[in-house]
Structure 1
Amino acid sequence: MQRSLLARSSLTLTVAVASAMALLGPAYSSAQVAAPAGKAVYIHAGTLLDRPDASPRGASTLIVRDGKIEAIRDGHIAPEGDARLVDLSKQFVLPGLIDMHVHIFNDDNKLRARIEQNNRDVEDNMIIGIDNARRTLEAGFTTLRDLGSDIHSVSALRDGINNGLIAGPTLYVAGRMISITSGHGDSSNNTNRNYADMMHAHTDNTCNGADDCRRAVRAQISQGADVIKFAATGGVNSNIAGGLNQQMFADEMKAIVDTAHMFGRKVAAHSHGNNGIKAALEAGVDSIEHGTYTDAATNALFKKHGAYFVPTMVAPHAALAQAEAGARNPNTLLKAREAVASHAKNTASAIKDGVKIAFGTDSGVGDHAINAKEFALLVQAGMTPAAAIRSATLDAATLLGQEARIGSLVPGKDADIIAVSGSPLEDVTRLENVNFVMRRGVVHKLDGKRQAFPEQL
């Protein structure tokens, strides 16, 4: 599924990674150093939520070797031989968190981005993405699903992280969102004719008609996409006054889903309006993103088709605040107000009706590295803290198709581990302040501080 980093020449990755290492110092050149191969790390946990679908354990020891969890034992076991010890005996330990909807290259400063966007090159955006990835990892999110970025840049970032060149979460990437012409994913909306012509000449994510949409899906897959995303409806932040209802025909949606599934890729549908949500669910999507205007009928369809709902509850509030401050295009303001007015109530109804929820924030619309603020909104909408945590661990891993590797802490799985100062089952906002982060056996944060030289543990 992934291209070998060493097998391809990438100017973007070479220039951007070298620049990032020079600018950001030893955290990048050294943060990927784990314990030497074969050497174990013992983690003493005060409380351990190893399986988010069960009650937590008391004092426990996790033994990590070669990036995997080797064993979990009751009590605090003394390290054997030359094994290293990480003392989290006063901490609540749980699996690394998963965010199923981010845009890793989006600048947190939206006004600055709007002013500078036409002066930025791909290398500039790569530097922003590298920094966002590092900060999000240090916030406790060890896995992300990026649902809308240049496929060449985001796959280079994904591969750079997986090959240990830079620090960041494990990425599963969609590339560009598939969109109809003038739809939410058409970046040429409301631009001058010369710029629009240039954009269409260099993009392959817009399509019109079922056959053309099959081509658009294949184009993203051929360039490294792990998952496919398409815009079933209008969107809040697109620069077109097209509303939030269905903008893609049912046969176009079905062509996208069937093509992606044929290639073993899952499909996420950007969907706000109720008619678009229903059409996407009938087409067989694996997840609905945003889902602003759900109702009892759409909730029943979620359950009938086994699809997940990714509410991204923080996003409409962030978009509205930015639009009111003038940092978004004029077409956003009205759509953002409409979304905020309906989203929380309808999400609460979906939770009550038993729709499967997977955690996602749409970070990039709002700021990166504050992803955990979504937990409090999910709890306010009716989820228990335990269910909210499961949505960002086991359930998100299942939607990714990676439940055999991540989502819980059991022997054989990746050592993606975080810790907080108290039980998030009692106060879910504790997840907003993560003290310890390990990804695949590498410690990136300890005692609340970035680890530039984790080999010194």
Structure 2
Amino acid sequence: MSIYMIRAKKIVTVSQFGTIKDGAMVIENGKILDVGTWENVRKQHSSIHAIDYTNYVITPSLVDCHTHLLEFAPTSLYPVTPETHFIVGKTILFHALSSGITALGEQICGHPLCDFTIEDYRKAIHGMPLNVSFATTSISIGFDKIVHFTSITQSTAVRKKDLIDPFLVKQIAKESDYPGENIFINATPANFSANEVPNAGKLMYSLKEMKQIVDIYHQLGKKIGVHVAGKEGIEMALEVGVDVLHHAHGITDELIKKAANLGVQIVATPIGGTHLTPNSPEEVLKFVNENIAVSISTDAYLPPYPGVAWLPYPDQSLKGPDQLMLIANPSMRLLKQNNYDENTILALLTNNPAVILGKEKQFGRLERGLDANFLVAEGIPGLEITETEKIKKVFYQGKMVINRL
């Protein structure tokens, strides 16, 4: 159908229109043509076929703006070869789609087992009903002898001094679609156990080096995001004008206020991703209280940080995009307890990450002119439901791509 109407128990628009009870939405050629109350929309479009979803809630589909699904996940989860790498990658992307996620922010860091170019990754997603943005990055892994890779040099390790070479930095910046973790201020533990990465958390750059890198991105008209944790690293990132903090584990109240005053965005990862304790629900509440446009992301595939009260995991097996609602739930419930509106709360998984990706004029809300990317679910994702089975239908650009009814 090129044009159709849907009716729902309520529509959580994550827009200025808020939640519309007994709502309706008209979709034409993959775009939202109209949204409002059933009574008003039906009057305006009386000849259009209406589909009855009045037992369900309709929301924007989810956006996970910090993932590693195409580069690191295949080799971490399966015995792939270069010939089968992207076959598995597409399976992993479908898993994300079936979890209600229709937009991803993928990090391409360079990997010793994956000699693929950024164009190889772009080609791999062709034809998938997903919107994927790529952040090209460099990465430092905290082994006893720290190793460095970049998206440009692919499977070839580089030296620390190469990470600040203006020519290489410009190449990485030019290829990047959005401010993901373009550089790692701290060496990362990645998916390794603590004893394997004794240098996880070590600072990789001086203030001067960071300033030079940030200036290159900004001179090219690009925003820059960073992998960062700990007071010293976060202070440095804010000092040199970084646009997005990924993780920001260990951030202080003073630095939260400074980030807010500078208009810096934060991508919270409550499951882990650095050498420090991940973002707690209370920390996410502080971000929102300071009007920081915080997003919650999985950093998948990732082992959960051990011993954290808000994570329901008994072991450190790798967790994927199907966990987005579950890891966001404690923060979203705390926001609800603090009287935040459900649209503001759901924005953490929809509009805010769409803004990070630079796609807020395309998706992340349900309003006229945007892509018809939406979910038909038993409740509000992340707030009222956490199981993917309770997402009954996923629509991407107006087409149903997942159907559990």
TM-score where L is the length of structure 2: 0.78
Change (3 A) 1:188 1:87: farther
Change (3 A) 1:243 1:406: same
- Distance in 2 between residues matched to 1:157 and 1:222, nearest whole Å: 16
* Pick aligned residue for 1:396 from 327, 339, 353: 353
Query: Which residue number in structure 1 is paired with residue 257 of structure 2?
Result: 300
Q: Which structure has greater helix proportion?
A: 1
Query: Which residue number in structure 2 is paired with residue 411 of structure 1?
Result: 368
Change (3 A) 1:121 1:224: farther
- Distance in 2 between residues matched to 1:432 and 1:255, nearest whole Å: 47
- Distance in 2 between residues matched to 1:301 and 1:376, nearest whole Å: 27
* Pick aligned residue for 2:96 from 133, 136, 141: 136
Kindly report which structure 2 residues correspond to 1:138-217, keeping only aligned pairs within 5 A, or say none: 138-149=98-109, 155-158=119-122, 161=125, 165-167=127-129, 169-175=130-136, 177-179=137-139, 183-184=140-141, 189=146, 202-203=155-156, 208=161, 212=165, 214-217=166-169
The alignment partner of 1:260 has SS state of: helix
The alignment partner of 2:169 has SS state of: helix
User: What's the offset of the Cα at 1:236?
Assistant: 2.5
- Distance in 1 between residues matched to 2:161 and 2:216, nearest whole Å: 15
The alignment partner of 2:104 has SS state of: strand
Deviations 1:399-435 (A, max 9, x none): 2222211121111111111121134596253677311
- Distance in 2 between residues matched to 1:403 and 1:201, nearest whole Å: 31
* Preserved CA contact (<8 Å) 2:143 2:199: no
- Distance in 2 between residues matched to 1:206 and 1:52, nearest whole Å: 46
- Distance in 2 between residues matched to 1:158 and 1:202, nearest whole Å: 17
* Preserved CA contact (<8 Å) 1:104 1:364: yes
User: What's the offset of the Cα at 1:122?
Assistant: 3.1
Q: Which structure has greater strand proportion?
A: 2
* Pick aligned residue for 2:401 from 441, 444, 448: 444
User: AA paired with 1:50?
Assistant: T
User: What's the offset of the Cα at 1:275?
Assistant: 0.7
Change (3 A) 1:43 1:104: same
Change (3 A) 1:424 1:382: same
Query: Which residue number in structure 2 is paired with residue 371 of structure 1?
Result: 324
- Distance in 1 between residues matched to 2:53 and 2:20, nearest whole Å: 14
Query: Which residue number in structure 2 is paired with residue 92 of structure 1?
Result: 57
User: AA paired with 2:206?
Assistant: F
> Is 2:77 the partner of 1:107?
no
- Distance in 2 between residues matched to 1:141 and 1:297, nearest whole Å: 34
User: AA paired with 1:173?
Assistant: F
- Distance in 1 between residues matched to 2:379 and 2:270, nearest whole Å: 24
* Preserved CA contact (<8 Å) 2:169 2:216: yes
User: AA paired with 1:230?
Assistant: I
> Is 2:221 the partner of 1:264?
yes
- Distance in 2 between residues matched to 1:381 and 1:153, nearest whole Å: 42
- Distance in 2 between residues matched to 1:97 and 1:260, nearest whole Å: 28
- Distance in 2 between residues matched to 1:147 and 1:47, nearest whole Å: 35
Deviations 1:123-171 (A, max 9, x none): 322122211111111211111111235595665454564x5x234x201
- Distance in 1 between residues matched to 2:345 and 2:142, nearest whole Å: 30
User: What's the offset of the Cα at 1:240?
Assistant: 3.4
Kindly report which structure 2 residues correspond to 1:283-362, keeping only aligned pairs within 5 A, or say none: 283-315=240-272, 335=275, 338-339=276-277, 346-347=283-284, 349-362=286-299
* Preserved CA contact (<8 Å) 1:108 1:364: no
* Pick aligned residue for 1:236 from 184, 189, 195: 189
- Which blocks of at least 5 consecutive residues in structure 1 are unaligned? 1-34, 320-334, 450-457
- Distance in 2 between residues matched to 1:61 and 1:410, nearest whole Å: 11
User: What's the offset of the Cα at 1:386?
Assistant: 4.2
The alignment partner of 1:435 has SS state of: strand
132-141 vs 255-264, which moves further: 255-264
User: What's the offset of the Cα at 1:219?
Assistant: 2.1
Change (3 A) 1:417 1:49: same
* Pick aligned residue for 1:121 from 81, 84, 90: 81
Change (3 A) 1:73 1:344: closer
The alignment partner of 1:248 has SS state of: coil
User: What's the offset of the Cα at 1:222?
Assistant: 4.9
* Pick aligned residue for 1:218 from 149, 164, 170: 170
TM-score where L is the length of structure 1: 0.70
* Preserved CA contact (<8 Å) 1:245 1:273: no
Kindly report which structure 2 residues correspond to 1:10-49, keeping only aligned pairs within 5 A, or say none: 35=1, 39-49=2-12
> Is 2:5 the partner of 1:50?
no
Deviations 1:303-351 (A, max 9, x none): 12211111110235xx9xxxxxxxxxxxxxxx4xx535x8566555545
Change (3 A) 1:354 1:217: same
Change (3 A) 1:285 1:352: same
Q: Percent identity?
A: 18
- Distance in 1 between residues matched to 2:374 and 2:51, nearest whole Å: 12
- Distance in 2 between residues matched to 1:443 and 1:70, nearest whole Å: 17
> Is 2:24 the partner of 1:71?
no
User: AA paired with 1:359?
Assistant: I
* Preserved CA contact (<8 Å) 2:350 2:364: yes
367-376 vs 83-92, which moves further: 83-92
Change (3 A) 1:441 1:264: farther
* Preserved CA contact (<8 Å) 2:12 2:60: yes
- Distance in 2 between residues matched to 1:136 and 1:407, nearest whole Å: 16
User: What's the offset of the Cα at 1:248?
Assistant: 1.3
